[in-house]
Homo-oligomer: A and B are copies of this chain.
Amino acid sequence: METYTMRPIGILRTPHAEPKGTPIQPSGAGDTPGVAEVFPEFAPGLKDLDGFSHVILLYVFHLAGPPKLLVTPFLDEGQHGVFSTRAPSRPNPLGLSVVRLERVEGNRVFLRGADMVDGTPLLDIKPHVGAFNAGGPERLGWLEKRLGQAGAARDDGRFAATESGEEKRGGGKE
């Protein structure tokens, strides 16, 4: 089977030391600051990013446990397919957050709305442009009735490898 090797472009610095207690989405993180420390060799790629008010961060859920196809997410008691949730225990442990960009200084991108654990490996930054989407969303499935809880909800560690002694989704070496 074909595989693809991803190399972090930087590290996310946030006040959240571990999964447990971390806000589950940027909307719940409020003004929580964070810094995307891009490795110096990638800093030229940040040119003109500061014109955008919001950016998409793609990163690795490096502390997540093994993949689960059915999960009980933080916002519901029922089981749902992992692809209909944002749970970290995904086949490919890719996380996505749309955060507010405050400023760029050299290789450091200052953010608000940080909902990632400190030390999270950063894979990509993209400008957030809602007008690029194929519209929507109009329907939010099982989340429809639970959306109001997202702001106050915090990670309880249920998907973290370290809580249960399982192996982390950490990377290989090269």
Give chain A's interface residues, CB within 8 Å of chain B.
1-9, 25-27, 29, 42, 44-56, 58, 60, 62, 69-70, 79-86, 90-94, 96-100, 112-113, 121, 123-144, 147, 150, 169-174
With A6-B6, A25-B132, A26-B132 given, is the CB distance from A48 to B81 under 8 Å? yes
> Distance in Å from the Cβ of A34 to the closest Cβ of chain B?
10
Are B84 and A134 in contact (CB-based, < 8 A)? no
Q: A27-B133, A83-B124, A100-B134 are in contact. Are A139 and B3 (CB under 8 A)?
A: no
B42 touches A96 (CB 8 A): no
Contact B45 A91 (CB under 8 A): yes
- 8 contacting pairs across A/B (C-beta < 8 A): A1-B174, A3-B7, A45-B82, A51-B141, A53-B139, A96-B96, A113-B133, A127-B137
B residues within 8 A CB of A100? 134-136
Q: How far is the CA of A24 from the CA of B20 in the complex (A)?
A: 39
